Amino acid sequence: MAKIASAFVSRLVIIIPYAWLLFFFLIPFFIVFRISLSQTAVAMPPYTPVFDLAGGLSGILEGMREFSLDNYIWLTEDVLYFNAYVSSLVIAAISTFLTLLIGYPIAYGMAQAPRSIRPTLLMLVILPFWTSFLIRVYAWIAILKPEGLLNQFLITIGVIDQPLIILNTNWAIYIGIVYSYLPFMVLPIYSALEKMDQTLTEAAQDLGCTPITAFWRVTFPLSLAGVVAGCLLVFIPAVGEFVIPDLLGGSETLMIGKTLWNEFNANRDWPVSSAVATILLLILVLPIVYFQNVQAKADSEGK
C-alpha cells in the first residue's frame, strides 16, 4: 500500500501542472480560436455558429462547416493591425531593454550587499506590489502632467523654463512599463547572482582580469539565465499591455492591447478580436518554445 500511495502521489505531482495548463490555458485558447473562425452576428453571443449540444453530433458538424478564415484574411488586408503588432513589439522591446539597464545594477547591488540587509532590500523591491497597479499608474499622471510634480521640481531648481510634455507620449509609456515591471526583472537576476560562487570572480581577477573584464567574462554569463527570464517576464506582458498605454499614452499611441479592447467593447466584433488575440499569442509563444528547445539542446550537448 505504501508503494501504491507513493506512486499515486508522484503521478499526482506531475498531473496537477498539466491539468492546470489544460483548464486555464488550452481550453480557453481553443474557445478563443473557435470564435476567431466564426462570423459576427447581432445576437448574444455576438457570433455564429453557436453550437447547440442538443442537436447532437450532426448539429456540431453542421456548425463546423460554417467556420472560415475570413477574419484572418481581414487582418492581413487592414494595415492598422499590422502597425499595432509592430508598434507593440517595438515599445515592449525598448521597455524591456530599459528595464534591464536599470534592473541589472539593482540586482547586482543587492547580491553584493551584506546578507543581513538583503531581506530588507528584497522587501523594498516587492513593496510596490502592495499597492494597486491601477493606483500606481494614476500616480504617474500626477507626476508627469505639465503642472505635475516633476515639472514643478525641475522649474524650481532652474533646470527648465517651460514644462516638459511627457504625458500622452511614448516616453510616458516607457516610464510606466519600466516602473511597473521592474521587480519582474530584478528578482530573477538577483536569484541568479545570489547563487553564484563569488570565488570565481576572485579567481578571474587573480589570473589578471580587471574587475570589468571579470564581470563580463564570469559574472554576466553566469547570470544570463536570470536575464533571459527577466526579459521574458517583462516583454510578454508589455506587448499586450492596455492600462499603461490607455492612461499614459496619447490618442495616436497604437498598441495591440488597445486595438483588442476596441474590437471587443467598442465594435463588438468578437470574431476579429479573437483572431487578433490568437495571432498575438502565437507571436509570443512560438519564439519562447523555440528558445526552450534550443536551450534544452545546448544543455544536453554540454553534458
Q: How high is the pLDDT of residue 90?
A: 94
Domain-embedded: residue 200:
yes
Domain-embedded: residue 296:
yes
pTM: 0.86
Q: What CA–CA distance (Å, rounded) separates 91 from 68?
A: 32
Treating both helix axes as pointing N-terminal to C-terminal, what angle do 133-144 and 149-156 enclose, rounded to 10 degrees?
40
Q: H/E/C letters for each residue in the chain?
A: CHHHHHHHHHHHHHHHHHHHHHHHHHHHHHHHHHHHCCEECCCCCCEECCCCHHHHHHHHHHHHCCCCCHHHHHHHHCHHHHHHHHHHHHHHHHHHHHHHHHHHHHHHHHHHCCCCCHHHHHHHHHHHHHCCHHHHHHHHHHHHCCCCHHHHHHHHCCCCCCCCCCCCCHHHHHHHHHHHHHHHHHHHHHHHHHCCCCHHHHHHHHCCCCHHHHHHHHHHHHCHHHHHHHHHHHHHHHHCCCHHHHHHCCCCCCCHHHHHHHHHHHCCCHHHHHHHHHHHHHHHHHHHHHHHHHHHHHHHHHC
Q: Pick the range with the lowest mean pLDDT from 3-12, 195-204, 222-231.
A: 3-12
Structural domain count of the chain: 1
Q: How high is the pLDDT of residue 301?
A: 63
Do the bridges between strand 39-40 and strand 47-48 make them parallel or antiparallel, or are there none, so unpaired? antiparallel
Domain-embedded: residue 135:
yes
Give the domain range for residue 79: 74-302
State pLDDT tens for residues 42-95: 777 888 877 666 666 666 677 677 788 888 998 888 888 899 999 999 999 999
pLDDT band at residue 1 under the 50/70/90 scheme: low
Domain-embedded: residue 35:
no
Domain-embedded: residue 142:
yes
How many CA atoms, within 13 angstroms, populate the side-chain half-sphere of residue 55? 11
Domain-embedded: residue 231:
yes
Q: Quote the mean pLDDT of the chain.
A: 86
Q: Is the pLDDT of residue 299 over 70?
A: no
pLDDT band at residue 196 under the 50/70/90 scheme: confident
Name the most confidently modeled range: 179-188, 196-205, 244-253.
179-188
Domain-embedded: residue 193:
yes
The predicted model gives 182-194 an average pLDDT of: 94
Q: How high is the pLDDT of residue 174?
A: 95
- The domain that contains 179 carries what CATH number? 1.10.3720.10
Q: How high is the pLDDT of residue 5?
A: 67
State pLDDT tens for residues 99-144: 999 999 999 999 999 989 999 999 999 988 888 888 999 999 999 9
pLDDT band at residue 13 under the 50/70/90 scheme: confident
What percent of the chain has a predicted confidence (pLDDT) above 90?
A: 34
Domain-embedded: residue 67:
no
Q: What CA–CA distance (Å, rounded) separates 123 from 130?
A: 10
Q: How high is the pLDDT of residue 53?
A: 60
